[in-house]
A and B are shown apart, each in its own frame.
Chain A
Amino acid sequence: MSKRYSNEHEWTVLDEQIATIGLSAYAVEKLGDITFVELPEIGTLVGKDESIAFIESVKAASDIYTPISGEVIEVNELLENKPELLNEDAEVNWIFKLKVSDGVEFETLMDEPGYKAYIETL
């Protein structure tokens, strides 16, 4: 399955109608030691680029935006007590899953080489 990235540094993997979303290793490294993740509520309907979750490190705090629209169907509850999982492997440890309402949005996101090129410019 291909992985896509947004400008706001979220990664998305789409499997049929289910999108798994996390934060890129690049973004997590910039934030430093993650100390807290506020997860969205299951059942929430969200539109593309809406702020949906919240992540905090010692020195920074950031909203997490959903790169595509849909309904929250699952959240990674492990992060509630072990936010450091994101520091350990951000590209594997996902944050929430969506039931996608518009598959086309996924196609508009950057692929891995595209994202790599994008963070070079930052």
Chain B
Amino acid sequence: MSFTIFEKSSKGRSGINIPKSSVSKIKRLDTNLLRDNKANLPEVSEFDVVRHYTKLSNKNFSIDANFYPLGSCTMKYNPKIQERVAGLDGFSNLHPNHITNNQTHLIQGALSSLKTLENTLCEITGMNAFTLTPQAGAHGEMVGIMMIGAYHKKKGNKKRYVIVPDSSHGTNPATASMVGYDVITVKSGLNGDMDLDAFKNAMSDEVAAVMMTVPNTLGLFNPEIKQICDIAHSYDALMYYDGANMNAILGVLRPGDIGFDVIHLNLHKTFATPHGGGGPGAGPVGVGKKLKEYLPDLRVDFNEKRGYFFKEVNQNSIGKISPFFGNYIVLIKSLVYMQTLGREGMINTSKKAVLNANYILAKLKTHLKAPFADTLCMHECVFSAEELTKKYGVRAMDIAKYLIDFGLHAPTVYFPLIIQEAIMIEPTETENIDTIDYFCKKMIDAVELAKLDSKAFKEFPKTLPISRPDETKAARNLNIRWKD
């Protein structure tokens, strides 16, 4: 039984001494302003806390200990120097309200890092300017679509729709509707790319934007992408680039060069900042000339006389979307990574990411159906367990759970939605051939086991703190907080 910290509580225990106050007695507040009872937080010692959370940490997979072949998630190694830099006093203890006070002389180092990051991202992506304020990829998407909304509003365009391919990330349609647009989903053709004819049919003067992931979520590069950009622009619809798969194309292709108007990057994917078990990430948004005036508040500029300072907010800016510079410390970590890689390191990153993915595709395609095996893939490859499901009742999720028992995190399954029983694998460039060979061997073992003993799969995983949880019970009998 995994006890909660509340069950380990003992009245009168405490974990920390608070600095003593030496000020004279202050008059108590009126009772109508005070809470009746103290918040019922656990009463535990510091050692209790340390042991409890250390034990919990042992119940996690992590990139430091496990391979994560997670498609569309880019779980690469997080270099340790990032943490050391992030811990420097001048970053970790810097108060953001020096910004409000406009005391720029106190924050020159921070502003300089932001300007360098913006310039670096512009060069990597071919965009014109970046906002560094969005706190995650989805947040960046929202900012991007808001700017598109502001653009059309200013031009007096009557726009209602955002087009997404049916292979898109769920955040794309969710973002479009959060900004008040209706979503048109365009189906993919047999080659996995958005069907060009279907796209042309869906286009109209009422389309505000087209959201694309390049390479797409099947790990394929769409050679018609330029044509799609041109068609969209002919209707004054703007092109949105979802940067989730940027790891495939560093130094190969720049969204800005081929006509994208706005893009977001996931620094926690491509630029190696730790996922933190679900966050914090960072989702800077780059724009071309058309959208520059709509960038959200807080941008840095530099001149010799003033040093680093804040740009005046453009009157057409969409406003504020984060208190200051979003997850600033995450931005710093990504810049550390970029400076370590440099130009050649970055080009090499995508090469090796694509090499690793194609190696897996080549090794596994004779064992498991790969819907797009006749071409090379980019940084990730997709398989389908459909045949195993039909013949033996073994589903993609069963294979995922099998892998977990061997210390391999599950690949992305059931996404993209257009592939039945999809298994999407993105190895990233930081894994070596031995790990990848081991992973492939275990995948092949799973396929063989499916043929011999399909029932065995219901038992996996066997070696972890829990076996498969009852998700139905969790939803029907909601228990989301501890009650004494």
Check whether chain A touches chain B (CB < 8 angstroms). Answer: yes
Q: Does A20 contact B (CB under 8 A)?
A: no
Which residues of B from 168 to 218 have beta carbons under 8 Å from A?
none
Interface string of B384-408 (1 = CB under 8 A from A): 0000000000000000000000000
* A5 shortest CB reach to chain B, Å: 25
Q: Does B475 contact A (CB under 8 A)?
A: yes
Interface string of B445-481 (1 = CB under 8 A from A): 0000000000000000000000000011001100000
Interface string of B313-331 (1 = CB under 8 A from A): 0000000000000000000
Q: Which residue on chain A has the smallest CB distance to residue B475?
A: A35
* B393 shortest CB reach to chain A, Å: 16
How many residues of chain A get a CB closer than 8 Å to chain B's CBs? 7
How many residues of chain B get a CB closer than 8 Å to chain A's CBs? 4
Contact residues in A for B475 (Cβ distance below 8 Å): 35-36, 56, 58
Contact residues in A for B476 (Cβ distance below 8 Å): 33, 35-36, 83-84
Contact residues in B for A56 (Cβ distance below 8 Å): 475
Contact residues in B for A58 (Cβ distance below 8 Å): 471-472, 475
A116 to B471, CA, bound (A): 31
Contact residues in B for A84 (Cβ distance below 8 Å): 476
Contact residues in B for A36 (Cβ distance below 8 Å): 475-476
Q: Which residue on chain B has the smallest CB distance to residue A82?
A: B476
Q: Which residue on chain A has the smallest CB distance to residue B477?
A: A35
Contact residues in B for A83 (Cβ distance below 8 Å): 476
Contact residues in A for B472 (Cβ distance below 8 Å): 33, 35, 58
Interface string of A13-36 (1 = CB under 8 A from B): 000000000000000000001011
A84 to B471, CA, bound (A): 14
Contact residues in B for A33 (Cβ distance below 8 Å): 472, 476
Q: Which residue on chain A has the smallest CB distance to residue B474?
A: A58
Q: Which residue on chain B has the smallest CB distance to residue A35?
A: B475
Interface string of A75-89 (1 = CB under 8 A from B): 000000001100000
* B400 shortest CB reach to chain A, Å: 15
Residues of A within 8 A of B (CB): 33, 35-36, 56, 58, 83-84
What are 9 pairs between A and B in contact, CB < 8 Å? A33-B472, A35-B472, A35-B475, A36-B475, A36-B476, A56-B475, A58-B471, A58-B472, A83-B476
Pairs A-B, 6 closest by C-beta atoms: A35-B475, A33-B472, A58-B471, A35-B476, A58-B472, A58-B475
- Other A-B pairs beyond A36-B475, A58-B471, 4, CB < 8 Å: A33-B476, A35-B472, A58-B472, A84-B476
